[in-house]
Amino acid sequence: MPYDPSAFPPFAVTVDLVVLTVRRHSLCALAVRRGEPPFQGRWALPGGFVRADEDLAQAAARELAEETGLCVHDPAAPTQDNGAHLEQLATYGDHERDPRMRVVSVAHLALAPDLPAPRAGGDASNARWAPVEELLEQAGYGRDGEGPAPLAFDHTHILADGVERARSKIEYSSLATAFCPPEFTVGELRRVYEAVWGVALDPRNFHRKVTGTPGFLVPTGGTTTRQGGRPAQLFRAGGATLLNPPMLRPEV
């Protein structure tokens, strides 16, 4: 079959973002309110069209900066502050996922420390951090008036995939540190694992495990009592990205 420029249909390509953070001991995702049809007024994942001269990762980083002010953590400069982890998640292109036209969305997963008050174009009422449990549960309520509406489009599905990716990836990588400020304690890191997995972990075994894994944590020498109790050592993320052996998530 010879090449024919008219042989393929045109698509719109967007990036959607699953931005996760840990606030008050629970895993939260960034949601923005849609200002236009379809799904006007409903909550959705942040995202937007990929521009003609942009790579996919660039577009995702641009959207992330627009929505949160976060810069993407450059792996080449790991000491940089205020950086978020960003990676491609999956691509969603069912042919009727957007009623307007044929849209393929390349979803990305971002992990951020808990700091920024959300802003969507400067309007705080149109962006919020919502517990993922709440956002995912809403998919069960189809009837009007029974709790808030689920996310627009197939965003509930995308969010579920992103959460599952984060849950499994902190098992075998040092990605949980992306949820922490630049300096953090072992207890703070443990609370990240507990929030993401939704389980309680033994503080003593956790401490032994993370401090015994070479390259995971680097002590800074300082201590803090910001969590109360006995002062805790402060650490930075070490260079290791893959944990071997992995952290074990307690089954069910």
Footprint on this chain of DNA (rule: CB under 7 A) = 185-188, 190, 202-205, 207-209, 211-212, 223, 225, 227-233, 245, 248, 250
Our CA dihedral for 103, 104, 109, 115, rounded to 10 degrees, sits at -20
Query: Which of a second copy, DNA, none lies near 7, with the C-beta cut-off 5 to 8 A by kind?
Result: a second copy
Residue 208 interacts, among DNA, a second copy, none and using kind-specific CB cut-offs from 5 to 8 Å, with: DNA
CA distance 221 to 238: 14
To DNA, the closest distance from the beta carbon of 230 in angstroms equals 3
From DNA, a second copy, none, interface partner of 4 (C-beta below 5 to 8 A by class): none
Distances (CA, A) of 38 to 69, 93, 154, 205: 26, 17, 13, 49
Query: Could you say which of DNA, a second copy, none residue 73 binds, taking C-beta under 5 to 8 angstroms by partner kind?
Result: none
Residue with Cβ nearer a second copy (11 or 141): 11
> Closest separation between CB of residue 163 and DNA, Å?
21
Smallest distance, DNA to C-beta of residue 213, A: 8
The DSSP letter of residue 111 is E
Residue 114 backbone dihedrals phi, psi, to 5 degrees: -85, 100
Q: Residue 218 Cβ, how far from DNA at the closest point, in Å? A: 14
- CB environment 4-25: b (16+ within 10 A), e (fewer): eeeeeeeeebbbbbbbbbbeee
